[in-house]
Structure 1
Amino acid sequence: MTSDADGGTEGFVLVDRPRPDVAVVTLNRTERMNSMAFDVMVPFRDALRQLGDDNDVRVVILTGAGRAFCSGADQSGERGRMPNIDGLTGVTVALRAMELLDDIIVTLRRLHQPVIAAVNGPAIGGGLCLALACDVRVAAESAFFRAAGINNGLTASELGLSYLLPRAVGTSRAAEIMLTGRDVDAVEAASIGLVSRVVPDDQLLDSCLETAADITRWSRPGVELTKRTLQDSLDAASLEQHMHAEGAGQLLVRLMTQNFEEAVAARKEKREPKFLD
């Protein structure tokens, strides 16, 4: 099933359900390489919020239509209109615009469901930030990544890039990528941990759906708490503090569900477990 996230008026964001428990969100403005114009980003944010509230969806896959994942800032001069800006000055509108884009990054990370970035082509500037905000990144062979702010005479730091990229690839590599503005191809991205793997272009979505199927085999609270603790680890003050948080989550699922008993029984009976949480 395919639907327009903005109610069918534009179709710049598509939501597909290839499986009942998996949603594929596609940025769909191919003539602009899925750039971050407001007429794309506003329905994209709204679609993410709706999916976060959809308890039938266990995994979200984010990708782009055509030859690009997302090319970052729209440079065409036709960026669409920000909502709710009547009576505001240009400075305030700019602040609201940045808040909107920041909110998308935060929303991706706050979703209950794991998010897989199916990077089908260039992920440039803000597009790189979108990929980094996802929990798992898989790249097509034609994909590449660029921290483009520096190329445009600005800073390379935007939308959490200087926070997320060093945590993905290390501080030295992140600094080199951001300060030079060079392209990182898919093979290099996999070698430095920016993506988990590289697949042929025509196998990208199927590969991500296989990963989604591997995730949805497991219990909902187990998956959601694992996502949460992985993200919390980025800001943990100490190993001991983080282990306490991990232990509390583990005990919560162990004591309040029969999932562990079901897993043990399923192994003995040589069958797939059925977690009822």
Structure 2
Amino acid sequence: MSEIIIDEIEPGVVVLTMNRPERLNALAPAMLEQMRQALIELDEAPGVRVVVLTGAGRAFCAGADVKSEDNTPSPSKNPVAQVFHSQEQIASIHELIHRMRTPVIAAVNGVAVGGGFSLALACDVRFASESARFGSIFVTRGVSSCDMGTSYLLPRIVGISRAAELMLTGRIFDANEARGIGLVQDVVDDGAVVDRALATARQIVANAPMAVWMTKETLWQNIDAPSFRHALDTENRTQVMCSFSGEIRQAFDAFVNQTTPQWKQL
């Protein structure tokens, strides 16, 4: 059985499901490699406009699978190098999601802790079911909570003070608190979170592919802009580039004629 399931729900919208429900979709090497290949292929497919990421069963993702046989250290290899390789393998998935031109929406259907929590953070938008639970639990396991991009993304999403409290305590918090601090955009009944994510996916798909790509890329670049002037310069160049794609004329004509614009694929 594949540890990653890909379903094209409708044109442009794909649901990618982590499929290790017996292990709460914990991140083992085999699943990570399947996910990496799937994300690369989806990002390169011109017809794919939005990816919804979720988990099979009662969990989104319980983090790294420390019990996986693939993670058993080899006595003939340097233990530091082995652990570092494993760390990089998981972290590279987070970076890939963050850097994809295709927006990724997390549909968090249960527990999302450790590496699963940071995986949700790497997505562009997050929705949660009532049963969702979150936690940056690394600090409770004797290591730093600064892991898998959490120290970069979480403060930018919820603010530095809230991030500090969550990361220093490692406490588990529920979906309603996640919504209250702006971590997730909405909380819905159990079983309905993918449908909620799909509703937003359809709104994204209605826009021009080039405009969506440039919006995601410029947004995340300007999070790190050293000044307002730098952010404006990046935006100006992006707008000029998008304008010369010709799709702004398509949009205006469709508005005047009350029709639906036909966007160009990337």
- Normalising by structure 2, we get a TM-score of 0.94
Matched, 1:260 2:217: no
Secondary structure of the 1:60 match is strand
Higher relative contact order (CA 8 A, sep 6+): 2
Deviation at 1:158, TM superposition (A): 0.6
Deviation at 1:64, TM superposition (A): 0.3
Question: How do 1:103-118 residues align onto structure 2 when only pairs under 5 Å count?
Answer: 103-118=92-107
Secondary structure of the 2:155 match is helix
Deviation at 1:151, TM superposition (A): 1.6
Q: Percent identity?
A: 41
**Inter-partner Cα distance in structure 2 for 1:185 and 1:162:** 20
1:25 aligned to 16, 23, 29, which one?
16
Deviation at 1:63, TM superposition (A): 0.4
Deviations 1:39-82 (A, max 9, x none): 2212111211121221111111100000000001223x224369
**Inter-partner Cα distance in structure 2 for 1:23 and 1:79:** 31
Secondary structure of the 1:49 match is helix
Paired residue for 1:101?
90
Paired residue for 1:80?
70
Question: How do 1:197-216 residues align onto structure 2 when only pairs under 5 Å count?
Answer: 197-216=186-205
**Inter-partner Cα distance in structure 2 for 1:92 and 1:270:** 60
Paired residue for 1:181?
170
Deviations 1:100-132 (A, max 9, x none): 112111111111100000111110011010000
**Inter-partner Cα distance in structure 2 for 1:127 and 1:11:** 19
Do the aligned partners of residues 204 and 198 (structure 1) sit closer, same or farther apart at CA in structure 2, a change above 3 Å counting? same
Deviates most, 31-40 or 57-66? 31-40
Do the aligned partners of residues 233 and 79 (structure 1) sit closer, same or farther apart at CA in structure 2, a change above 3 Å counting? farther
**Inter-partner Cα distance in structure 2 for 1:219 and 1:100:** 33
Matched, 1:233 2:222: yes
Conservation of the 8 A alpha-carbon contact between 2:16 and 2:51: yes
**Inter-partner Cα distance in structure 2 for 1:126 and 1:233:** 25
**Inter-partner Cα distance in structure 1 for 2:46 and 2:259:** 26
Q: What is the number of equivalent residue pairs in this alignment? A: 264
Which runs of no fewer than 5 residues in structure 2 stay unpaired?
none
Question: How do 1:101-250 residues align onto structure 2 when only pairs under 5 Å count?
Answer: 101-250=90-239
2:25 aligned to 34, 42, 54, which one?
34
Residue identity in the other structure for 1:92: A
Paired residue for 1:64?
55
Deviation at 1:275, TM superposition (A): 2.3
Secondary structure of the 2:30 match is helix
Q: Please tell me the root mean square deviation across aligned C-alpha atoms, in Å.
A: 1.8
Deviations 1:134-188 (A, max 9, x none): 0011111111110110121222111011111000000000011111111221111
Which runs of no fewer than 5 residues in structure 1 stay unpaired?
1-9
- Normalising by structure 1, we get a TM-score of 0.90
